[in-house]
């Protein structure tokens, strides 16, 4: 900077800082973000010298979307307050959804139990003991009808955390809409449908990569024609971060997954200017406040550049990175669980300051059990207080221009791009996963974090510092899923199979088998036909397992 006054003032400050350091050393030798980015003692105009505002930061609603995807952001309307919920059977989960809607949640987010996530019916031997434990058990359209009973699908946006069997659950949702008299074109929501992060970080996969990518692009194609308001994928960095990645890795691996999906769709003949509008993303909100805000801004700018420069999109909506955020489950502690309310508040505020389109706030008791109604209400109220009382929603991207935020945004963008280039050189994300590259990077980052916690270089309040004698967790009011839930669900499934038209079910399943053998067939209409006659998820996925095979993980040490 050519500013004599600035240079003089900076020299004066540095002299004072040196004198202060001679008297009292700083708390640590090096300061970094939670993701390991070195932090300067002070950021100033020189930190972002050379920035060309319009092209680098820009205005909200305009390329490169650093400051947000909508011109007026939360001055127009707040983000969707979408609480993630589901447990036991469809009846219990329906009651929880209606409870949340009555208290002001503006969107639903469905958690499915583990058997549903990996395509097994509740009565399958592999499902034993897991019914309703980590989400709701959905075996057939009959369950989905109960799940959304008295919930109008033309007025509520629904997100479903489902990946390998996403086509089946989407088909069930469409059929519930049909039974409610809602046109398919009026449905709005999101299916996660992101299989690549399952291979590297989460593990609820079924099929090998090639048929999995086919299912995903079939959904892109079908929804583009039939459900124009539906987000066909939620490309998820959340689980990558939960597995232990850094913020830079979360951005890099998520966007590299996005590149792989766009390339697969283009090979199928789909236009990125069209399907690109319905791509959505899903990020974690972690504890390092400044790093998280910068992370969202960097991801938005980098994806806009990828879609414009790499894929040649002209449609601004196809260049926008729209994202849902969930506060970080991995930061919740069983010790002093009330502290989790504070953590979630900071994380949610970072997501809002980073410009999220949708937000879930975790409940304080989730490190101990499924959340109670009371803790869920507190989590929802956290969003509402930020929206209506904090004032941060009244101006757009209020931390833009902060020397620290802008510098961190640049550093995260550059660091993520370095990873993406390495993945490109390996042949893309599918090849990188087969080599075990992102898995190893995540494992190494998780190991370094755990070492820092155990050495107390990283403080976790109530865990490795400021401990107190804890009351017995059993004395707390926790939500438990009773073993009788599984018996009831199996009973419902047995009754369904005895009453439905089994000849029609067999015919529809054979149609899916034939479609699976024809690479040019779109499987979505065939799955829809099977769901309509109450074929179960396990039966449909069973046929696809027989035709596609099952994925076997490549263990990386």
d(CA 99, CA 93): 10
Phi, psi at residue 430, to the nearest 5°?
Answer: -60, -45
CA dihedral of 87, 88, 90, 95, whole degrees rounded to 10: -60
The contacts of residue 88 (CB under 8 Å, 6+ apart) are: 132, 136, 137, 481, 482, 485
The contacts of residue 154 (CB under 8 Å, 6+ apart) are: 177, 180, 182, 183, 186, 187
pLDDT score for 4: 77
d(CA 176, CA 155): 14
HSE, side-chain direction, 13 A CA sphere, residue 22:
5
pLDDT score for 556: 65
Q: Crossing angle, helix 339-353 and helix 373-389, to 10 degrees? A: 40
d(CA 485, CA 492): 11
163 sits in the region (left: phi over 0; alpha: psi -120 to 50; else beta) called alpha
pLDDT score for 492: 97
How much is the CA Rg of the chain, to the nearest whole Å? 24
Token representation of residue 428: 């893309």
pLDDT score for 477: 80
Assess contact for 234 and 190: CB atoms under 8 A.
Answer: yes
Token representation of residue 21: 């350091």
User: In tens digits, what is the pLDDT along the chain, a chain of 557 residues?
Assistant: 457 799 999 999 999 999 999 999 999 889 999 999 999 999 999 999 888 898 899 999 999 999 999 999 999 999 999 999 999 999 999 999 999 999 999 999 999 999 999 999 999 999 999 999 999 999 999 999 999 999 999 999 999 999 999 999 999 999 999 999 999 999 999 999 999 999 999 999 999 999 999 999 999 999 999 999 999 999 999 999 999 999 999 999 999 999 999 999 999 999 999 999 999 999 999 999 999 999 999 999 999 999 999 999 999 999 999 999 999 999 999 999 999 999 999 999 999 999 999 999 999 999 999 899 999 999 999 999 999 999 999 999 999 999 999 999 999 999 999 999 999 999 999 999 999 999 999 999 999 999 999 999 999 999 999 999 876 655 578 888 888 999 999 999 999 999 999 999 999 999 999 999 999 999 999 999 999 999 999 999 999 999 999 999 877 66
Task: Find where tokens 């989590």 sit.
Answer: 379
> Which structural domains are found in the chain, ordered by start?
61-454 (3.20.20.240), 488-548 (no CATH)
HSE, side-chain direction, 13 A CA sphere, residue 124:
19
pLDDT score for 278: 95
pLDDT score for 430: 96
């Amino acid at each position: 900077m050519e500013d004599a006054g600035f240079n003089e003032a900076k020299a004066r400050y540095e002299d004072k800082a040196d004198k202060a350091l001679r008297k009292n050393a700083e708390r640590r030798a090096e300061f970094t973000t939670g993701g390991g980015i070195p932090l300067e003692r002070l950021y100033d105009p020189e930190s972002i010298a050379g920035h060309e505002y319009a092209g680098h930061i820009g205005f909200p609603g305009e390329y490169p979307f650093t400051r947000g995807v909508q011109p007026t952001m939360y001055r127009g309307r707040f983000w969707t307050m979408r609480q993630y919920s589901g447990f036991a059977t469809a009846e219990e989960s329906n009651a929880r959804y209606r409870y949340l809607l009555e208290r002001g949640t503006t969107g639903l987010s469905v958690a499915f139990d583990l058997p549903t996530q990996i395509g097994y019916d509740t009565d399958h031997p592999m499902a034993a003991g897991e019914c309703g434990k980590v989400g709701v058990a959905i075996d057939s359209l009959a369950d989905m009808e109960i799940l959304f009973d008295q919930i109008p699908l033309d007025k509520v946006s629904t997100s479903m955390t489902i990946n390998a069997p996403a086509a089946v659950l989407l088909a069930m949702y469409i059929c519930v809409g049909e039974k409610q008299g809602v046109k398919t074109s009026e449905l709005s929501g999101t299916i996660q449908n992101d299989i690549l992060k399952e291979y590297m970080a989460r593990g609820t996969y079924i099929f090998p990569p090639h048929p999995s990518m086919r299912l995903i692009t079939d959904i892109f194609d079908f929804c583009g024609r039939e459900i124009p308001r539906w987000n066909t994928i939620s490309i998820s960095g959340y689980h990558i971060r939960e597995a232990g990645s850094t913020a830079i890795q979360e951005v890099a691996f998520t966007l590299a997954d996005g590149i792989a999906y766009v390339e697969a769709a283009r090979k199928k003949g789909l236009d990125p200017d069209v399907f690109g509008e319905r791509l959505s993303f899903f990020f974690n909100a972690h504890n390092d406040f400044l790093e998280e805000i910068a992370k969202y801004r960097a991801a938005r700018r980098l994806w806009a550049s990828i879609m414009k420069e790499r894929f040649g999109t002209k449609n601004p909506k196809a260049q926008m990175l729209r994202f849902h955020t969930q506060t970080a489950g991995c930061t919740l502690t069983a010790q002093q669980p009330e502290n989790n309310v504070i953590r979630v508040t900071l994380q949610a505020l970072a997501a809002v300051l980073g410009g999220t389109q949708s937000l879930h706030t975790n409940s304080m008791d989730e490190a101990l059990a499924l959340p109670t109604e009371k803790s869920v209400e507190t989590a929802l109220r956290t969003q509402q207080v930020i929206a209506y009382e904090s004032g941060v929603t009244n101006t757009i991207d209020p931390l833009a221009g902060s020397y620290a935020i802008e510098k961190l945004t640049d550093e995260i963008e550059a660091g993520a791009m370095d990873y993406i280039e390495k993945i490109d050189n390996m042949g893309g994300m599918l090849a990188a996963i087969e080599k075990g590259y992102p898995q190893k990077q995540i494992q190494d980052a998780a190991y370094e974090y755990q070492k820092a916690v155990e050495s107390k270089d990283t403080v976790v309040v109530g865990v490795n510092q400021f401990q107190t004698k804890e009351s017995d967790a059993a004395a707390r009011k926790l939500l438990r899923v009773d073993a009788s839930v599984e018996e009831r669900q199996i009973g419902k499934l047995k009754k369904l199979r005895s009453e439905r038209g089994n000849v029609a079910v067999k015919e529809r399943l054979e149609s899916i088998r034939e479609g699976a053998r024809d690479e040019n067939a779109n499987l979505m209409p065939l799955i829809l036909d099977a769901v309509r006659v109450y074929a179960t998820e396990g039966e449909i996925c069973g046929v696809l397992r027989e035709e596609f095979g099952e994925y076997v993980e490549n263990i990386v040490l």
